[in-house]
Each structure stands twice: as structure tokens, then as C-alpha cells.
Amino acid sequence: MILASASPRRRDLVSLIIDRFDVVPSDFDEDSVPGGLDPPRHVVYSAEMKALKTASSRPGALVIAADTVVVIDGRILGKPADEDDAARMLRLLSGRTHQVYTGVAVARDGVLRSDFECTQVTFRRLSEDLIARYVASGEPMDKAGAYAIQGKGGVLITGIRGCWFNVVGLPLYKLSRLLEEFGIEPLST
């Protein structure tokens, strides 16, 4: 079993339900996702391509892949390019509710199963000082939407509706259902 992700958060989440797996980050370029896809299709396409690309060079391996984006006003926010971009994203999210979409895919020997999860997240109103302090912490820099609910970014959030694990980056329930389609029983591996 392989997790096709360099994300330490995803590695930690997978380890909650699967005892043994290898980490082999996918080299799929997320910037190559076709434009114009709605958020669910965007994240599913990216997760599928990561899973298929990794599985194609590892016959017999079961490969898990995921992609997460933050969506506000119909716009997809990926990872910030720099600190100014992180601050811009946080200003957009301030005092508002947005959606977090994660696509998850499982592939083995040309067989592919995928799904997505959407969670509503509401931010408190953020002062410029709070934004500056949070950006200076460095935490936003490799996170979709420029925040981490499981880290310091938890102080920015007033509530969520839906799957918390999805906001971290991997909806465990959806992953467990996909694994079951391959005959893998989570919590028993």
C-alpha cells in the first residue's frame, strides 16, 4: 500500500486507519489540472491523476492519493505562492464561510475508485495584525487556503459543518469506503 503524498498531515491521517504503508509522493503537476473544472471535479481529477501516475510504475500496489482546495466565491484557492498571497487569501476568508473540497482516489493495476468531500468552514473577522502574525508563523505557506485547522490556524475558525478530517486534508470516511471497494478493511491492516 502506498500513499502518493508528501503531506505529513495525510501520512498521519492514513496511519489512523492503516498500519503499514509506504509514502511515495506523486510527481503529478497540480498546475496541469484543466481549467474550468468545478471544485469537486478539480480535486477528483487531481487525486485520480496522482493515484494513476504513481500506480502505473508500481504493479500490484494499492495507491492512495488526494488533493485539497479551499473555495470562496466560486474561486479555488490552492497553496499561497508567498507571504503576500497568504495574507490576500486570509483577507478573502475573514468573517466568511467557505468550502474545503478534498478529492481522494485509490488505484491498483488500472482499477480506479474516487470520491470527494466538501466541508463548510467559517472564519472569524481577522484583523490585519492577526493576519500578519499568522503569516509570520510560517504555517500558512504550504496549506490550501493559507491555513491549518489542526494548527495555529484553529484560532481563526469559529465553526465547521462537515468532516473535520477533510479540512486537514483527507476525509477518512470516504477513504475507508474506497478501500473497502478494493477488499481492504480499515483498522484491520
60 falls within a domain = yes
With CA atoms as reference, report the closest residue to 178 among 42, 32, 1. 1
Measured from the Cβ of residue 111, the count of other Cβ atoms closer than 10 Å reads 11
| Mean pLDDT, contiguous 10-residue spans, the chain (189 residues) | 94 94 90 87 96 94 96 93 97 98 96 98 98 97 93 97 96 96 83
- Known catalytic residues? 67
Give the model's pLDDT for residue 34: 85
187 falls within a domain = no
| Number of domains within the chain | 1
Q: What is the CATH number of the domain that holds 101?
A: 3.90.950.10
114 falls within a domain = yes
Measured from the Cβ of residue 72, the count of other Cβ atoms closer than 10 Å reads 17
76 falls within a domain = yes
**111: which 3 cell numbers?**
482499477
189 falls within a domain = no
134 falls within a domain = yes
Give the model's pLDDT for residue 184: 92
- CA 125 – CA 133 distance, rounded (Å): 14
40 falls within a domain = yes
Give the model's pLDDT for residue 140: 96
Give the model's pLDDT for residue 188: 66
HSE at residue 89, side-chain half, CA atoms within 13 A, is 28
Q: Which amino acid is at 62?
A: L
Which residue segment(s) compose the domain that 86 sits in?
2-181
